[in-house]
Amino acid sequence: MRYFISAAYSNHGVVKALSYALSKMGHVNAYDMLTYGDVREQPEEKITESAFNLVQSIRDAELFIHVCPETHTTATELGIALASRAGKRIIVWSTTGREFEQGSVVSAYYFHPSVIRFTGDLEQFVKHLESI
């Protein structure tokens, strides 16, 4: 299954560990953010190419993982996943569950019927992914 991990750049360690675990399960990374890196300071053509590739990869992924906490970019990526959700599993993962509590940090999109919310550490989350 092709997967896409949406995470803040500050979560590179988590993304690397999660990508490794998913690859060991036989899944294929649709877009490796660790390879492409942060393009915000690149020339406009590079940013445009990246935007196109990101949208295409999210659309084509069969599994979309949104790692909390969100950023403007990851919120947008979640929106693209929801808009292209036909046959796609969408999981929002929080280590604390705080993002799923009522209040200023909650996103209504986390409660869309197509979204699976998961709370737990990396090991628990990987075990959950092994079951799908």
- Express each pLDDT in 89-112 by its tens digit: 999 999 999 999 988 778 999 999
Domain residue ranges of the chain, discontinuous segments joined by +: 2-130
- List the end-to-end C-alpha distance of the chain, in Å, as a whole number: 10
pLDDT of 40 higher than 90? no
The DSSP string of 53-101 is HHHHHHHH-SEEEEESSP-HHHHHHHHHHHHT-TT-EEEEEESSSGGGS
Q: pLDDT at position 41, please?
A: 85
What's the CA gap between 49 and 51, in Å, rounded?
A: 5
Q: What CATH number matches the domain at 2-130, 3.40.50.450, 1.25.10.10, 2.40.10.500, 3.20.20.140? A: 3.40.50.450
Report the percent of the chain where pLDDT is more than 70: 100
Strands, sheet with 115-119, edge to edge from the N-terminal-most edge strand? 28-29, 2-6, 63-67, 89-94, 115-119
Of 41 and 88, which is predicted with more confidence? 88
CA 75 distance to own-chain centroid = 9
pTM above 0.85, yes or no: yes
Beta bridge partners of 88: none
